[in-house]
Amino acid sequence: MLQFALAVFFLIVTPGPGVLSTAGVGAAFGFRAGLAYVMGLFVGNNTVATLVLTGIAAIAFTVPWLRGVLLVASVLYLLWLAWRIARAGAKIGFIAAQKPLGFWNGLSLQLINPKAYVVHTTLFSGFGFFGSNIVMETVLKLLIMNLIWIPLHLAWLWAGVSLRRMDLSARTQSRVNFAMALSMLVVVGLALISQV
């Protein structure tokens, strides 16, 4: 169970579309505005878990045109987000938007987020710890995952809010933006490699 919890922590804490955009909402609009977005991500995350657990995701990904559409949608979104981050220049701007991203944006992102499917497939197909009682193990995995997921995403939201309040030099701000954009490009690369 401890190995599972550690895997959840490290798979969720690493930069991906959900946590990077969460920090962006915090940086752009503050903690309170970001809560609706995080709630959408939360519902989306559990929806993806359900799709993986029921096998619907596996079935959907066997349909070539649907798999292609989902891959193109997620890669285009991730590339767009990386581009927006990198071009923010001397401003801390994980995302650039005129109004806060809300619940439906968070939900939609998780549904096309390739990292979410990979993470859930990894977590639920491995790390067995409850013997032959797969139902109890699944319930415990969902509970552990959510108990780790919620504070980590709130921490990323807080990090974005904190960056908004800092008076960083233009050079440091540009480096932060570049690092975030590079992280997004790594996620895009991993998504593409996993499809080969």
d(CA 112, CA 74): 5
Taking the mean position of all CA atoms in its chain, how far away is CA 3? Answer: 21
Whether residue 120 contacts residue 47, with contact meaning beta carbons closer than 8 Å, is answered with no
Whether residue 1 contacts residue 140, with contact meaning beta carbons closer than 8 Å, is answered with yes
Whether residue 15 contacts residue 187, with contact meaning beta carbons closer than 8 Å, is answered with yes
Rg (CA), the chain: 17
d(CA 102, CA 57): 25
Domain ranges of the chain: 2-194
Dihedral sign for Cα atoms in the order 172, 178, 179, 181: positive
- pTM for the structure as a whole: 0.78
3-state SS, residue 101? coil
Structure tokens at 160: 């974005």
DSSP, res 89 = T
Whether residue 188 contacts residue 69, with contact meaning beta carbons closer than 8 Å, is answered with no
Tens place of pLDDT for every residue, the chain, 196 residues?
Answer: 788 888 888 877 777 778 877 887 777 677 888 899 999 999 999 999 999 999 999 898 888 898 888 778 877 877 776 676 666 555 555 554 456 678 988 898 898 887 788 888 888 888 888 778 889 999 999 999 999 999 999 999 998 888 877 877 777 767 776 776 777 677 667 666 765 5
Q: Could you identify the residue written with the tokens 């780790």?
A: 148
Terminal alpha carbon distance of the chain: 32
